[in-house]
Structure 1
Amino acid sequence: MGLLGGGDILGNGIYYHWYKGEMSDFTFRYYGFEWVHPLPEPFLSIFYIVGFLLGLAVALGWRFRITAPLFALAFSYLFLLEKAHYLNHAYLFVWLSWLLALTPAWREFSLDVRREPSEWSPVAPAWSVYIFPLLMGLVYFWGGIAKINYDWLIEAMPLHMWLQRRADMPVLGALWAEKTTAYVMAWGGMLLDLSAGFLLLHKRLRWLALGLLLLFHATNHLIFNIGIFPYLSMVLTSLFFAPDWPKRVVEWLAQKSWASRSMSGQLQGWIRGWKSRVASAHAEARPQRFWQREARYARPLILALVALIAFHCYLPLRHWAFDSDVNWSEEGHRYSWRMMLRSKQGGGNYLLVDRATGAEEIVLPYEHLNPKQYRKMVTHPDMILQYAHHLRDTRAAAGQDVAVYGRFRVRLNGRSRQEFIDETVDLTKVEWQWFGRKDWVLREGE
């Protein structure tokens, strides 16, 4: 996970910062984390490089107790830096990185153990083994629940739209263009998500589930640009198997006759050398003392983990408490594993009215935001409100008191564009509310 996360940090720097240059003067920050700001150059570029190196250090188990929390902090900072870049897998990775920092993941095969064999331990607390597949099981299950809706199952939308865009793909293009393909993938994806976690718990059926999930994630990677999520999903899915499976795979490769003689010898020599390094009386006694010392933290830790699981069971359900369609209003969309469920496009502008003179001015946000920020903002009410407040505050700093009205139209799942924001509401007077339907956000077709 450290290597994937470090690669994601560096990839964001290479693609968005250095290649695309998509760093505008304004950033959409998460409510409650408005204090998170981009570092000035050259420190932001240095951050991307250091974040990658921290991920590499975590993967190798080098100074794990220091580098793992620092890596979690770095990835959290990257996540909080720009709301327009929100991805479900990035949110999941924030939780995973902090949980990983709490585990004794360095205590078997790591540079820390190579440096200090007394740190070696053949055992780990049960929670550190089960919490990661449990979280992945929740992602699969709630992702399946979210797919039980009219557009996805009855209309096969927006999946059919996305597949049609790949109709020019060699060999498979004609298959993607068929509406039947969209229905098969929509229903198959829903059923697989709902059953994956349960199938992976069964010792025999987990191989079937693994094969289906490999096909599922490979297809997603082929058709959609969804970053590291397919790779992360397979890493987490593999944790449903016995914890020592990587070591057994290495030993199996070393014993196979078809493996090259030099490779087999190197693997076997590496395994023997590692075992001899940690096979000492001191190393055998250390784990018992370590776990006796850590046992006093077991109860509060278990309570915290139960609260964490309850929290992740509540978030995907919270949109039912709102009198609105989550795919349209976005109320309850984030943090709920509603992945690749809707296609939304929009556009619009702001009307600024000077309260003193009545003079009107139209502000085109695409002239001041980068393309991704604009695409996300016009379909998300919270971001529309944030930018309206930004316009209010910048004009106030210049001595001008203005009213700001949003004029936006949005299209959901290929339907015609509809009014999205009530144009009669002065957004400078609206404060963000965490729960409940926003009256200034119109219903689809209203």
Structure 2
Amino acid sequence: MLDRWLFSKIDNSPLIIFRIIFGILVALECYGAMVTGWIQRTLVEPRFTFNFIGFEWLQPLPGNGMYLYFFVMGTLGLCIALGYKYRFSIIAFTILWTGVYLMQKTSYNNHYYLLILISFFMCFFPANQNYSCDAKKNTALKTDAMYSYVKWIIVLQLFIVYTYAAIAKMYGDWVDFRIIKILMQSKADYYLIGEMLQQPWMHRIVGVMGILFDLLIVPALLWRPTRKIAFFASLFFHVFNSVVFQIGIFPYLALAFSVFFFEPETIRQLFFKGKKPYTKQEFSPPSYKNIALFGGSLYFLIQLALPLRHYFIKDDVLWTEEGHRMSWRMMLRNRSGKIQFKVVNREKNKSTIVDLNDYLTSKQKQKIGAYPDFIWQFAQQLKKEYAQKGEDISVFVLNSKVSVNGKPYRAFIDPKVDLASERWHHFKHHDWILPSAPTN
């Protein structure tokens, strides 16, 4: 039964149009990063970037190297859209985009992570087998069919993303609309809608609809009687997010996923009227069936497990941030912090208060006081820089206080712990992060 469900052939029109839209969107994302100053602020100006821990060897290219890097990625996006040397283009883009994601966290975004996952899938999908330069050059490649597992991989990935996002929203500061009010405060000067976004009734609508949309959109798109209504709801939801929160290509990428929920014939009629319909009910499992089942099962087990890891780590993820990333915990918190770093020369027992302006950009300074991995990494960076000058140091954090979602500031980091001597644990709690609530 599972074999027939996954390895029957269906019309490939949804995959073909998705490839075209996907390529155009990633090209716009990459070229946009060049012209909006994102590359300059995030990768060029900083003395060092806050990498994902363990990937410190991934560093931005010097000079104008990152502009060339993004230009190459944008051009690869166009090649993907055109289906030109598709396999090379999508693999190269996936590697380069993953590199950018891992080399900096200051501009972390869940959507960047999702783009890695979708790009990874596209490396294996036969998305260039029609309406592509590759198929035009090699007619033997051309086909109107694909295996149905292509559709169901996308559907399952989206179901995981939206479902975990909905579950994560079911907590106090979302259901009492506190976080929504905070998120909307920075939108007060928006033309026409700014004042409306400050109204309590709007916060209630956004809060309730945010949970309902995430929880129901995938089932509603799958069920034919509600599909069109769900699509227009999705259109409104994502355009609203694009206008209000200005989150790049993601709202339009999310809309592009809709093509996998409609009947292939509908997609063919809309976008490829000259394309022959594929109507056979052909079941022919490929030679790689067992490998595909094992690899897919392992992948989705990891996707199901990663967002749950914070439940097995001590204290509240909203406070500690441990297990937050790659868990689809989107738009859930607003953090601000106050912090001082004290460097102590072990040989001379001489202490110095660090001037953060000497090391960090303004955006990095917004992060450094509120996120424990940033704090630890900065301590390691100080240790490294002082070691290059022949000094053995300890690094202590003073007056560390954090406010989550506008609540009163509370002590965050233990001032007695030498962070330069601490190790980082990806799946364990760090005891130098003070408890979220007072202990008796």
TM class by shorter chain equals: 0.7 to 0.9
How far off its partner does 1:18 sit? Answer: 4.4
- Equivalent runs, 1:16-31 vs 2, <5 Å: 16-18=38-40, 22-31=44-53
Q: Partners of 2:141 and 2:202 in 1: how far apart? A: 53
> Is residue 130 from structure 1 mapped to residue 122 from structure 2 by the alignment?
no
Specify the alignment match of 2:9 in structure 1: none
> Is residue 334 from structure 1 mapped to residue 325 from structure 2 by the alignment?
yes
> Is residue 413 from structure 1 mapped to residue 405 from structure 2 by the alignment?
yes
Equivalent position to 2:427, from 432, 435, 446: 435
How far off its partner does 1:374 sit? Answer: 2.3
One-letter identity of the residue aligned with 1:67 = S
Q: Partners of 1:170 and 1:113 in 2: how far apart? A: 47
How far off its partner does 1:21 sit? Answer: 7.4
Change (3 A) 1:21 1:135: closer
Q: Partners of 1:394 and 1:6 in 2: how far apart? A: 37
Q: Partners of 2:332 and 2:42 in 1: how far apart? A: 27
Change (3 A) 1:20 1:82: closer
Instruction: Give the conservation status (yes or no) of the 8 Å contact 2:90–2:122.
Output: yes
- Equivalent runs, 1:39-118 vs 2, <5 Å: 39-118=61-140
Specify the alignment match of 2:5 in structure 1: none
One-letter identity of the residue aligned with 1:208 = I
Q: Partners of 2:315 and 2:415 in 1: how far apart? A: 19
After TM superposition, the score normalised by the length of structure 1 is 0.87
Q: Partners of 1:174 and 1:11 in 2: how far apart? A: 29
Change (3 A) 1:168 1:73: closer
Instruction: Give the conservation status (yes or no) of the 8 Å contact 1:157–1:342.
Output: no
Specify the alignment match of 2:6 in structure 1: none
How far off its partner does 1:298 sit? Answer: 1.7
Q: What does the per-residue CA deviation read over 1:41-97, in whole Å, with 9 as the maximum and x for residues that have no partner? A: 343322111110001101110111221111111211121121222210111111111
Instruction: Give the conservation status (yes or no) of the 8 Å contact 1:10–1:52.
Output: yes
Specify the alignment match of 1:160 in structure 2: 181
- Equivalent runs, 1:26-425 vs 2, <5 Å: 26-153=48-175, 155-250=176-271, 271=274, 295-407=286-398, 408-425=400-417
Instruction: Give the conservation status (yes or no) of the 8 Å contact 1:419–1:445.
Output: no
Instruction: Give the conservation status (yes or no) of the 8 Å contact 1:8–1:228.
Output: yes
How far off its partner does 1:202 sit? Answer: 0.1
Q: Partners of 1:193 and 1:363 in 2: how far apart? A: 44
Q: What does the per-residue CA deviation read over 1:204-231, in whole Å, with 9 as the maximum and x for residues that have no partner? A: 1122221222221122122213222211
Q: Partners of 1:20 and 1:395 in 2: how far apart? A: 24
Q: Partners of 1:321 and 1:366 in 2: how far apart? A: 37
Change (3 A) 1:244 1:353: farther
Change (3 A) 1:40 1:163: closer
One-letter identity of the residue aligned with 1:75 = W
Moved more, 18-27 or 433-442: 18-27
Q: Partners of 1:364 and 1:338 in 2: how far apart? A: 33
One-letter identity of the residue aligned with 1:361 = T
Q: Partners of 1:388 and 1:205 in 2: how far apart? A: 53
Instruction: Give the conservation status (yes or no) of the 8 Å contact 1:348–1:364.
Output: no
Of structures 1 and 2, the larger Rg is shown by 1
Q: What does the per-residue CA deviation read over 1:302-361, in whole Å, with 9 as the maximum and x for residues that have no partner? A: 211111111111111111111211111101110011111111112322111111222111
**Higher relative contact order (Cα pairs below 8 Å, separated by 6+ residues):** 2
Q: Partners of 2:208 and 2:356 in 1: how far apart? A: 39
Q: Match of 2:221, SS?
A: helix
Specify the alignment match of 1:285 in structure 2: none
Q: What does the per-residue CA deviation read over 1:139-166, in whole Å, with 9 as the maximum and x for residues that have no partner? A: 111100100101110x212101222333
Q: Match of 2:286, SS?
A: helix
Q: Match of 2:145, SS?
A: coil
Q: Which runs of 5+ in 2 are unaligned?
A: 1-21
Q: Partners of 1:162 and 1:18 in 2: how far apart? A: 26
Change (3 A) 1:130 1:244: farther
One-letter identity of the residue aligned with 1:157 = R
One-letter identity of the residue aligned with 1:9 = C
Q: Partners of 1:149 and 1:19 in 2: how far apart? A: 34
Q: Match of 2:396, SS?
A: strand
- Spell out structure 1 runs of 4+ moving beyond 6 A: none
Between the two proteins, what is the percent identity of the paired residues? 30
After TM superposition, the score normalised by the length of structure 2 is 0.88
Change (3 A) 1:81 1:308: same
Q: Which runs of 5+ in 1 are unaligned?
A: 253-270, 280-287
Change (3 A) 1:86 1:243: farther
One-letter identity of the residue aligned with 1:419 = A
Change (3 A) 1:22 1:413: farther
- Report how many residues are paired: 412
Q: What does the per-residue CA deviation read over 1:6-65, in whole Å, with 9 as the maximum and x for residues that have no partner? A: 322232333223478753121111123222121223433221111100011011101112
